[in-house]
């Protein structure tokens, strides 16, 4: 995201403190960041704080009426931004957006801009649930350049427990990265995308299992990328990093199915597969499992010196056998050393439309990493190299690659 330009609009609400993390993270990633504070926002957070994090002066209504600019400030800022993020978005500012009102620097700049706009509301539960606010929210969602992050639920600053919490900084940052990549295009509207993620666990007894170090980060990134581009997303996931479990809970638009074993994952995927246009198998599924299972924890002295194993059914092969002409099935091949040769063999043997071969023996790549790299290969032998990047950025490149499949 180096060199991209993000404009942050801050309205008056206690959630304004969360925006500090968003601005700080963007600045550290090399994103040029500017911010506008409404008069009410300054009651919660100071322009000096925001300016320090942006590495640039913060703008207020006082700036709006100054004559030190060569051109009107709202015009300059509107043309400058690649993306406009409004967080927190109050009921007042939401209503102004819907009705095209422009009585301060923030709302004037929205009207003077043409870039995508990301809305992250925050307010008391009773305020959020008022019919006029909900009508305005629905109207904002219908605007092509408006992208939305609905508030979550929890304990609010007013001690009320309910909906109205602004989306967490991690969710805002993910959406920002997607919008900077896609420039706001919703090119997967109408697509049903099915994704598997995380690792499966094959238990020997209630406390011991055969597993792998998959955290589910790549699969979650794929689900987010597809959702941000307008797809209907279903996610079947095994064991995930705890933070990702919490993250899924904040994405009600994604229909998620939590499973443990390979058998359970296969059943869930077979259930969802008929509706899927694209299926992306990013999960790390076990290859073998203990041949028997003990209902009670085995004493250490009873553990076998050699553990009998049996193979796990091949989920990808089962889906490939059911695949219809309009469906696309994509696999992953996590490899060390030569990643392309075994990926090609897997692609052909399992009759996939494409495969992502990614190394697990390279720095900042593979299991547990926030970044990844890969060679994308389709059934005709075309290859696309994904240089090291964030897993969300790689997810978007994979979705782009899938759109070229024939």
Q: At what angle do helices 105-112 and 91-98 cross, to 10 degrees?
A: 40
207 by Cβ neighbours in 10 Å (0-12 / 13-18 / 19+) ranks as exposed
Active site residue 158: yes
159 is an annotated ligand-binding site residue? no
DSSP lists the bridge partners of residue 288 as 311
252 is an annotated ligand-binding site residue? no
346 is an annotated ligand-binding site residue? yes
Q: Are 171 and 148 in contact (CB under 8 A)?
A: no
332 is an annotated ligand-binding site residue? yes
Cβ count within 10 A of residue 154: 12
314 is an annotated ligand-binding site residue? yes
96 is an annotated ligand-binding site residue? no
Q: Are 25 and 39 in contact (CB under 8 A)?
A: no
* H helix runs in 236-311, sequence order: 242-249, 262-272
Q: Which of these, 34, 38, 77, lies nearest to 56 by C-alpha position?
A: 34
DSSP 133-191: HHHHHHHHHHSTTEEE---EEEE-TTS-EEEEEPPPHHHHHHHHHHHHHHTT--TTTT-
User: How far is C-alpha 170 from the geometric centre of its chain's CA atoms?
Assistant: 9
Burial 223-252 (b: 16+ CB within 10 A, else e): bbbbbbbbbbbbbbbbbbeeebbebbebbe
187 is an annotated ligand-binding site residue? no
Q: Which one of the listed residues 54, 115, 158, 389 is annotated catalytic?
A: 158
Annotated binding site for CTP: 287, 297, 313-316, 332, 346, 350
Task: List residues with catalytic annotation.
Answer: 158
């Amino acid at each position: 995201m180096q060199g991209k330009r993000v404009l942050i609009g801050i309205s008056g609400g206690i959630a304004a403190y969360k925006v500090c993390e968003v601005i700080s993270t963007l600045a550290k990633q090399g994103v040029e960041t500017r911010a506008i504070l409404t008069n009410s926002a300054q009651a919660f957070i100071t322009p000096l704080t925001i300016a320090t994090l942006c590495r640039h002066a913060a703008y207020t209504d006082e700036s709006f009426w100054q004559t030190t600019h060569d051109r009107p400030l709202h015009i300059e800022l509107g043309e400058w931004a690649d993306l406009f993020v409004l967080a927190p978005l109050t009921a007042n500012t939401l209503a102004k957006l819907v009705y095209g009102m422009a009585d301060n620097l923030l709302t004037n700049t929205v009207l003077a801009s043409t870039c995508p706009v990301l809305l992250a509301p925050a307010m008391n539960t009773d305020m959020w649930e008022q019919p006029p606010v909900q009508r305005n929210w629905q109207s904002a969602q219908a605007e092509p350049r408006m992208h939305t992050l609905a508030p979550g639920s929890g304990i609010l600053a007013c001690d009320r427990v309910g909906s109205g919490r602004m989306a967490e900084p991690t969710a805002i940052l993910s959406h920002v990265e997607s919008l900077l990549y896609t420039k706001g295009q919703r090119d997967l509207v109408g697509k049903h995308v099915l994704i598997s993620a995380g690792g499966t666990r094959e238990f020997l007894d209630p406390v011991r299992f055969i597993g792998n170090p998959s955290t589910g980060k790549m699969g979650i990134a794929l689900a987010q990328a597809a959702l941000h581009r307008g797809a209907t997303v279903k996610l079947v996931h095994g064991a995930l990093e705890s933070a990702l479990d919490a993250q899924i809970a904040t994405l009600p638009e994604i229909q998620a199915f939590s499973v443990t074993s390979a058998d359970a994952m296969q059943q869930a995927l077979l259930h969802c597969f008929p509706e899927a246009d694209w299926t992306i198998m990013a999960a790390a599924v076990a290859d073998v499992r203990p041949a028997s299972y003990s209902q009670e924890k085995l004493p250490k002295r009873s553990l076998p010196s050699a553990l009998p194993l049996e193979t796990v059914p091949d989920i990808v092969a089962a889906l490939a056998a059911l695949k219809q002409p309009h469906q696309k099935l994509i696999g992953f091949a996590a490899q060390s050393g030569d990643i392309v040769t075994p990926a090609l063999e897997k692609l052909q043997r399992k009759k996939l439309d494409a495969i992502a071969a990614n190394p697990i023996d390279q720095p900042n790549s593979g299991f547990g990493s926030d970044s990844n790299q890969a060679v994308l290969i389709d059934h005709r032998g075309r290859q696309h190299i994904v240089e090291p990047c964030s897993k969300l950025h790689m997810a978007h490149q994979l979705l782009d690659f899938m759109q070229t499949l024939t």
